[in-house]
Structure 1
Amino acid sequence: MSDIFIFNKPFQVMSQFTDSDGRATLADYIRIPAIYPAGRLDYDSEGLMILTGDGELQHQISHPRHKLKKTYWVQVEGEISAHAIAQLCKGVMLKDGPTLPASATAIDEPGSLWPRDPPVRFRAAIPTSWLSLQISEGRNRQVRRMTAAVGFPTLRLIRAAIGDWSLCGLAPGEYRKITLGEEFKRYASPKKPASRAFKRKPKSKTLGPKPRKRSP
C-alpha cells in the first residue's frame, strides 16, 4: 500500500496538481511523485485533504457511498439561529434534491484558526458567526448551498476533519505522512500474494501384473 499524507490546503489553491489557467495548485506545495488527492476541495475553501498513491483507497475515501463523515468549520453572514441549525440537522432542499440529515452546531471561532489571506471582507453593520457542520455526502459546493438555503451565506469554509483524521495543527500549505488508522484500513487495497511456481506432478504409472510373453 502506498504512503498516505494529510495536507492543509490554503485558500485559492486548486485541489489538483495542474491548472491550465495558471492558478496555484498542489504542486506548489507538494513534491512527492505518484500521489493524488482522495476527493476535492473547492478553490475558495481551505483545510484538510488526503493524498495517496493507492487508487482503491483514494476511491473509497472520496466516494459518498461509503459515508465517510467530513467535518467543516463554517463562518456565515449573520448570527446563526437555532431554527437554521435545526433545519440543517433535519436536511434541506437543494436544486438537486434534499440533503441527508447533518450534524450541525453553533460554535465560537475556532481558537486554532489561522488568518486567511486575503481576509474575509469585514462589514461593521453585519455580524458573522460560526458553526460546525458534519456531512457524509459530496455534492458540488454542498455546504455553501446548505447554509444559503437556511438564510446564512457562507463567508469562509474550512474542512477540519475527514473521518477520524483532522488537521492536527498543520499550518496552511503544510503536509504530513500519516499512519493508516483502523477506520481506513478497511479501505486499503490488499497486497497481492506472491506468485508461486507450480510444478506439475509426474503422471503415476498404472499398477498391475506385468504382461505375459507370448509363446513362439
Structure 2
Amino acid sequence: MGESLNPSALSRIVGRLRPDWSRTAAARRFAAGALVILAAVAALRPDPAHERTDIVVAARDLAPGIELTAADVRLETRMATTVPDGAQRDLAVVVGATLAGPARRGEALTDVRLLGPRLAESAAGPNARIVPLHLDDTALLDLIRPGDVVDVLGAGDDAGVGGGTEPQVVATDAVVVLVSQTPSGAGNGGERVVLVALPAQDANEVAGAALVQRVTLTFH
C-alpha cells in the first residue's frame, strides 16, 4: 500500500526542518551580494582617522602684540572639514611669533593671525610690507583697531600754524594690522607702536618719512 495521505506528526516536523534548497540558494546569493556592496562601500569610504587633523589653537585668551610662548598654544585634533585655511599645524612655527590680533581660548591660529608676509599680503596685496609707526599723537592708539584703513601724514617739527612746513600725505589706504598694548608695569619705558600694511613702494616711503618726520594718521 502506498504512502499514507495523512503523515504523522513526526513526518510533518521532519518536513519542516528539512532545508528548502531553493530558498537556501536564494538567501546565499542575497547574502553574497550584500557582502559585495558592503565591501565596496568600505573601500570607498575614507578612514575616519584620515578625516581628523592636529592644528594649533590658543591655550587661553591672548592679547594682540604678544610673543607667543609654549604656554600660550597647544595642539588640538579637529575634523578636517572644520579646519580653516592657513591653520598652523606645527607648534615650533607658532612659538616665538607675534600675534596680530586678540584670540579666544580654543581659537585656531592661522597664518594671517601672525605677523609675517602672509598677513601683509592678506591686508595690502602681493609684495606688501608692514611698517611700524610711532605716532606723534599717542591718543590715537586707543582709537585705532586692526583692519582700520588710514592715511599716513608726516611733517617736520616746525609744521602747523606759523610753521614753515605743512603736513604732507605720505601714503593712503594703509591697513592697520596691529596696535601694541599699553606696557604693563611702571617705569618699563615701553613705547606703543602701530603696524600698517602697504604696497612695497609706499611702505618704503612711509618708513623713510617716519625716520625724519613726525607722523600721524587720518581715518577713512
> Taking structure 1 as the reference length, what is the TM-score of the superposition?
0.25
> Taking structure 2 as the reference length, what is the TM-score of the superposition?
0.25
Compare relative contact order (CA 8 Å, sep 6+) and give the higher one, 1 or 2: 1
Flag the structure with larger Rg. 2
